[in-house]
Chain A
Amino acid sequence: MMEDHSVLSPAAVGLIHAMLVAAPAEERTSLTLRETLAYAAEAIADEDRSRIERLAARDEVSRRTLVQAWDAVEAFQRQPVGIIRRQATAGDEAAREYLALVTRPIRVPDLGLGDLLRQGGDAARLALTTLSAALASPAPLRPGFAAALRSVEMRIRIEDANPAFAHMIPTRDSVLITFEGDETPRGERLFVVLELGAFRLRIGTAEGHQGAYELPIDPTLVEGHDLVARWDAWPERSNEPVAEFEEGSPVTLAAWPTVVGDELRIPLAWRNAERRPAACRVEASCSFAPGTWQPLGEGLISEASPISIFDYPGPEGAFPWPLRLKVEVN
């Protein structure tokens, strides 16, 4: 036998320990039907049947139970949520647990759902359910990060809502929802704005909920209390820069621009910090209509980012897209 008494750094030891015990947390507590279904769903999302084998090998949940859960989740994933809900209502425990499983908690931002719920009282009880992309699409969203998002189907369910609902909130007519764990192909956190009165869903990524895409919610798609919007519009060119720069520009877009009031903020980063010029002037223009470019204004970028362009002509919250930036080094 070999012995080695040299030691490793705490940083390496920590990571090695994590590797040695990196069994998924579910493996230790997969006891309820919901947890078993969740486990099966994760395994399906990972396309990894061996996870079930490994779990069963550890005698924590029987292989039979897990395989049944696997089959059940696969079957649920092929069904419209309305049917699953009917099954649940009819007493199907697995359907009920599956629905509970795919109902993710919605993070309520400062502006939005929490206020609305408080203002609206009982009549405005708003239950928003997302069928997570990891379960609704063949590829996982959270680990998958990319192309799967193009086929994400989101279902928003409004319970006990009526057409007058939007009018019951006189000060606001929209709800900002962030779907926990969802992100865009670029890895930005996803924001969804549901405009209740307008039956419109805007999907965007920037803080401040500027929507890059607006999807009308077709009333004909309303199924019972379900408002269904299929989001398959994320552009193929999603990995391209989100703004056009003239060739050789020393700056690049660091994050999505935001519009606050009449101020357009464009976060910029230097392409090469070592060759950073003393200052640059940036002219921004936007194509609000195809084929036309409207100057937005200009700003000076020196040390700090973002630049701010005041008197932004677009409506508040409307994301300037496409955005063209001309950068002039002083």
Chain B
Amino acid sequence: MRGDREGWEDDLERFVGPSEADAQTAFDRLMTATVPIVERHLRTYLPRDEDRQDVIQEMRIRAWRYRNRFQNRGFASWLSFVKLTAERCTVDLARGRGTELSVDDPAWREIPEEELPVVADFFELTRNRERLYQLADDFWLGEGGEDFERRLLAGKLFYLDGMTWERIASRLRVDRRTLDGWLADPIVLRHVAYGGLYVDNTRLSRHLLDFTGPDEDLNALMMRARDRVGDPPEGWSWPEIYAVLWRYRFARLTEGIHAMPECGLDRAALDTLFDRCRSRFPFERIIVTLATRFGPQSAGEDALKGTALWRRLVFQFASADELPHRDIHDRTAPAAETVGFSLTLGMLNVWLSNGRLAKSLRDYYRSRIETEGSR
């Protein structure tokens, strides 16, 4: 990661430098790293892919043409420059069609100078998803230290899979006393709880449809549902399966599914279908199982009721599964309620909309870098 950062800094220097050929090469590299982010940012304003591609093309042209206006204050200032350029192109696109987009939206303003380091850090942080989620685990669930994987495995085998302690001790070659210590470790318990409660989009859709085949077959199932080929699995119609997969595997909103020409269900039928799916969500059952298996130990109760677990889940559902707030709420609040933790939409809004979760993770990331650097 460090190497990448230096690479971008070099590219920025070349981009503002005197050699046009170098600037162009650097521009290409910078754009390659930036366009996916801008494209995602534009989805809020431009739902049609064609519009976003038009804006991105225009943004590239303008960013190159007006490159002398760019002031190099690091990679975040580049991101801010590109973002603003893209937003202006969006406004112009709308204007060209006779509509006006609000430019008073605070999200459209320039990123304040003092926040540029946060943005730059986040760019570094999000380059590597595995590392990002590992950091999130460490931050919210706790750093396990050396040999943690083994301890966590013991926790998962015991609490999630219901394996007896004798078998675990035998397989992991630990004595009973050590194993007891591992199983009562609050960090292990939090990680186990998260591992149980985080059900990603694909797993959730598999659960809802009682689908046991490989994921490849899930793709084929979707195609068969779309084309209404053969008989649907028992208990479902093809339009229902198609809608469930779009709704829960690909996190498409009900309105979007309803608007699809091949949907085949009216709005009321979709609402009924998704109510039925929500009633089959596994989260409450999982947390009840966890609470039972954790038993009366206070560390177990703390792991489930503590805000850290829920923040971690919310972060994951938002960043990895791209769920809107209401969907995150549906997948967390009822389970949280079961153990006495009240997770409201207002809380989710505060966590996600104001960047608190993101910023606190970034601060942790910085402290980790500093700590590692001082060693």
Contact = CB atoms under 8 A, between A and B. Distances in A.
Interface stretch (A15-23, A86-94, A214-222, A307-315): A15-23
B37 A22 contact: yes
Most buried by B among A14, A142, A145, A239: A14
B364 interface: yes
B28 A15 contact: no
Interface string A174-193: 00000011010011110000
B325 to A, nearest CB: 12
Interface in B292-342: 308, 318-319, 322
Nearest to A30: B219
A122 interface: no
B222 interface: yes
Contact size range, A:
35 or more
Nearest to A146: B24
Interface of A: 1-25, 28-29, 31-32, 46, 54, 58-62, 65, 142-146, 180-181, 183, 186-189, 239
A142 B52 CA distance: 13
Contact of A188 (B61, B83, B132, B139): B61
A143 B107 contact: no
B111 interface: yes
The secondary structure that dominates the A interface is: loop
B110 A31 contact: no
Contact of A145 (B24, B106, B126): B24
Given A7-B356, A7-B359, 6 more contacts: A8-B355, A8-B359, A11-B110, A15-B41, A15-B83, A31-B219
B60 interface: yes
Tell me if B's interface is mostly helix, strand, loop or mixed. Answer: helix
13 contacts: A1-B140, A6-B359, A9-B115, A10-B107, A11-B107, A18-B38, A19-B126, A20-B358, A23-B36, A54-B129, A60-B215, A145-B31, A186-B64
Given A9-B112, A11-B107, A143-B28, A16 B119 contact: yes
B40 A18 contact: yes
Nearest to B354: A7
A22 B126 contact: yes
A11 to B, nearest CB: 5
| Chain B: number of interface residues, binned into ranges | 35 or more
Interface in B341-375: 352-356, 358-360, 363-364, 367
Contact of B36 (A22, A60, A181): A22
A13 B27 contact: no
Tell me which of B40, B109, B122, B129 has the highest count of chain A C-beta atoms within 10 A of its own C-beta: B40
Contacts of A145: 24, 27-28, 31, 60, 64
B112 A12 contact: yes
A248 B364 CA distance: 54
Nearest to B122: A16
Contacts of A61: 216, 219
Contacts of B236: none
B361 to A, nearest CB: 9
Nearest to A6: B359
Contact of A12 (B37, B115, B356): B115
